[in-house]
Amino acid sequence: MAVILIGALLIVAGIVYMAGAVLRRGKLSDPAPAASDRPIPNLTTPGPTLEPRRRGLGFLGLSQNWPGLLMMGVGIILLLLVAVL
């Protein structure tokens, strides 16, 4: 029973960690910072928006999310071990 609880807690902790990492990277309503040699991206609407045109999917990268993915992986393995045994 304790292994199931630990596995479930690790999965939830991994999801919370990855959501917190996305929120710590900056405001979601601001476009991604532009390099000095690139022009500022044109937005479809004037002013800040929740969906900037050039934000990209950088928040899904493995390098920023590996601790959360590791926690979720260990939690899934624990749950599968209990189900098999």
Question: Are the CB atoms for 41 and 31 separated by under 8 Å?
Answer: yes
pLDDT of the residue at 85: 86
Q: How many residues does the chain have?
A: 85
The pLDDT > 70 percentage for the chain reads 59
20 pLDDT higher than 80: yes
Distance of CA 54 to the CA centre of its chain: 18
Q: How would residue 62 be classed by pLDDT, with cut points 50, 70 and 90?
A: confident
